Amino acid sequence: MSDIATASAAAFDAAADTYDEDRHHVEIAEELVRGLQPTSPPALVVDVATGTGFAAFAALRRLAARRVVGIDISQGMLDRARAKAADEDPGGRIEWRHAPAMPLDLVTGSADVVLCASALHLLGREALREWLRVLRPGGQVVFSVPMAEDFHPSPEFRRMVESHLSVPRDATEAAGLAHEAGFAEARAEVLLPASERPRRVFIVRAQAPL
């Protein structure tokens, strides 16, 4: 595990008990899933950097996903997600994996949807190529990324941000992250969560080429 990954895991382990108190994370995760309109329930949804599971649970409610894999490097976050799953996922459709975001232990072309809320700036550009690998042709990716103008992390958090991913300034740059990785029909929109400390983010939606 890299030094950045180790620092990130430790930071999120420490934040796990209070993470759900910031509604900013909930709103972003819900918005990722809200815009998806699959013609049938997806067989596999992958939630990368799932945290305490907001997007994974939303995929069950809104998409009727048959199977969800939630992956996170923080054991503390996954412990919180599993605790909530007793109520949110009584059927046990979500598999929680304590693992790095790259590489994903998933078969090439096996996923219908990949979600990633509030984590790409910690993972870097190569994560997008990995998501493209695991998606089937025509599969969908939705992720959020901070807006540069509103991104004012603490020095400690800034050290965890991968230097090879510049936080986008506008929607064109945000969608360009997906285009550069090989996705088609990428588009970005601005979301201003109505949380106590709102920070604008870009929601980027794209499709794996057919």
Structural domain spans, the chain: 3-207
Q: Which residue has the tokens 């090439």?
A: 108
Contact 180, 132 (CB under 8 A): no
Rounded to 10 deg, the angle between the 54-63 and 23-34 helix axes is 40
pLDDT digits (tens, 9 = 90+) for 171-193: 999 999 999 999 999 999 999 87
Q: Which of 96, 63, 65, 62 shows the shortest CA–CA distance to 79?
A: 96
pLDDT for the residue numbered 130: 97
Q: Which residue has the tokens 């870009």?
A: 202
The CATH classification of domain 3-207, taken from the options 3.40.630.10, 3.90.1150.10, 3.40.50.150, 3.40.50.800: 3.40.50.150
Dihedral sign, CA of 140, 177, 185, 129?
A: negative
Q: Which DSSP letter does residue 166 get?
A: P
pLDDT at 3 over 60: no
* Backbone φ and ψ of 127, nearest 5°: -60, -35
pLDDT digits (tens, 9 = 90+) for 192-209: 877 666 789 999 999 999
- The two beta strands, 184-191 and 45-48, are unpaired
pLDDT digits (tens, 9 = 90+) for 53-89: 999 999 999 999 999 999 999 999 999 999 999 999 9
* Cis, bond preceding 103 (omega within 30 deg of 0): yes
Contact 205, 31 (CB under 8 A): no
The tokens for 206 are: 């794209």
pLDDT at 134 over 80: yes
pLDDT for the residue numbered 92: 96
pLDDT for the residue numbered 45: 98
- 11: pLDDT confidence band, cut at 50, 70 and 90? confident
- The two beta strands, 201-207 and 184-191, are antiparallel
pLDDT at 14 over 90: no
Task: Tell me what the pLDDT averaged over the chain comes to.
Answer: 89
Rounded to 10 deg, the angle between the 75-88 and 54-63 helix axes is 30
* Backbone φ and ψ of 187, nearest 5°: -145, 150
Q: DSSP readout, 5-20?
A: HHHHHHHHHHHGGGGG
Average pLDDT over residues 23-32: 88
| % of the chain at pLDDT higher than 70 | 90
Distance from C-alpha of 179 to C-alpha of 31, rounded to nearest angstrom = 21
